[in-house]
Amino acid sequence: MNILVVDDEPQYRLLMRAFLVDHGWDVFLAEDGAQALEKISEAKMDLIISDVYMPVMDGIKLHRSVREIPGYEAVPFLFMSAYDDQHTLDAVKNPKIEGFLKKGKSVGLLKEWIDFLTTPEHTRSKFPPGGHSPGL
């Protein structure tokens, strides 16, 4: 499975890559939404994990752009952010956004989100990890 990690913090990208590679996934890294779109044009991604706030193109604009690419209308998208203030939650509170996880939560919860989002909808639990609606 190909996973694209989009984050403007180099150390965070490296930590994410190490965790995901250890679980056997192929990982692609981008520092902003514009670079992420380039990576998507180079390889088919099965999951996108993106920061919300980044320079050049933020995660919300990236999500909208990805959804316009043929074949990416339903690719799972998980937002991660160091912020979980009301402004951030409002930005990702959208039925078309599959999930949100605050940075710093356990890697076990991240793995649960990845498993949840990559399980076919008709066989996955009605409740995402953490027991909240996906957009929260």
Of 69, 71, 66, 93, nearest to 81 by C-alpha is 93
β-bridge mates for residue 99, sequence order? 78
How far apart, in Å, do the first and last CA atoms of the chain sit? 25
- Cα gap 134→136, rounded to integer Å: 6
Q: Which CATH architecture has domain 2-131?
A: 3-Layer(aba) Sandwich (3.40)
What tens digit of pLDDT does each residue of 47-89 get? 999 988 888 988 889 998 999 999 998 899 898 877 555 555 5
Report the pLDDT value the prediction gives residue 98, as an integer from 0 to 100: 72
30 has pLDDT over 90: yes
- 82 and 39 in contact (C-beta within 8 Å)? no
Confidence band of 97 (pLDDT split at 50, 70, 90) = low
Amino acid code (one letter) for 15 = L
Report the pLDDT value the prediction gives residue 85, as an integer from 0 to 100: 56
Mean per-residue pLDDT over the chain, rounded: 83
SS3 12: helix
Q: What is the pTM of this model?
A: 0.84
Report the pLDDT value the prediction gives residue 110, as an integer from 0 to 100: 87
- The answer to whether the Cα torsion of 54, 55, 58, 62 is positive or negative is negative
Strands (E), 46-126: 47-51, 77-81, 99-102
